[in-house]
Amino acid sequence: MAVIDPNNTWAPLEQRLAVTTNERHRTVLGIVIEHMKAEAAPDLDGLMRTLVPEPAYHFWNAGKDVGPKGRDVVHTYYSDFVASRSNVLEYQLDRLVVDDHCVVTEGFLKQIYPGAYAAQIGIPVDDPAADYLVVFRQLLLWPIDPEGRIEGEDSYHSGPVEIRKLTFDELPREYVELVHPGA
């Protein structure tokens, strides 16, 4: 049985959207849902359409901001993300906060990494040919501009709280189609 279901990433936002009557909050939720779905597809053009012309990402790591800034750099970041085949993920939300200018999500980010890519970015794995579940505790702020586009992401995470080699049966269909086509 698959260890993650990517659809669970945006399901809490869709549930909130279904009961939200404030039009600005509906806009703010809608653009984040669109972004999440484009990331999962993967749809690079769709991802970029959800963003302001010059997005700024803030990924806080050891007290330093290492996030991409500017359209070209963010486009490269997402191109690399899609190429890494680590875009099959489930963000299991514990908290969702929405206001006129921001969505805040907090929970466990469960992501599947090809072993070779995990090793390349410093995640300790023992088999580069295997697939790994990597789980982080993450808080994301999604600032939204007045036109309803995402200005970037402000990300804070715990570092890995779990790293586990997966069996083929644990891989979700989306990942198998992406990484192991024909299997």
Spans of the chain, pLDDT less than 70: none
Q: What is the pLDDT of residue 95?
A: 97
Enclosing H/E stretch for 89: strand 89-98
HSE toward the beta carbon, residue 53, CA cutoff 13 A: 1
Cis amide prior to 146 (ω within 30 degrees): no
CA 57 to chain centre: 13
For residue 111, what pLDDT is reported?
93
Estimate to the nearest angstrom the gap between the alpha carbon of 81 and the chain centroid. Answer: 10
Structure tokens at 107: 């929970």
Q: Where are the domains of the chain?
A: 6-179
The answer to whether 57 and 9 are in contact (CB under 8 A) is no
Q: pLDDT tens digits for 31-61?
A: 999 999 999 988 999 999 999 999 999 998 8
Query: 22: helix, coil or strand?
Result: coil
Our measurement of the distance from residue 170's CA atom to the centroid of its chain's CA atoms, rounded to an integer in Å, reads 20
pLDDT at 159 (0 to 100): 86
Q: Which of 10, 70, 72, 68 is nearest to 41 (CA)?
A: 10
User: What CATH number should be reported for the domain whose range is 6-179?
Assistant: 3.10.450.50
Break the chain down into helix, strand, coil percent, rounded to 5. 35, 30, 30
pLDDT at 142 (0 to 100): 98
- Inter-CA distances, 109 with 10, 28, 70, 150, Å: 12, 21, 25, 20
Q: What is the pLDDT of residue 39?
A: 92
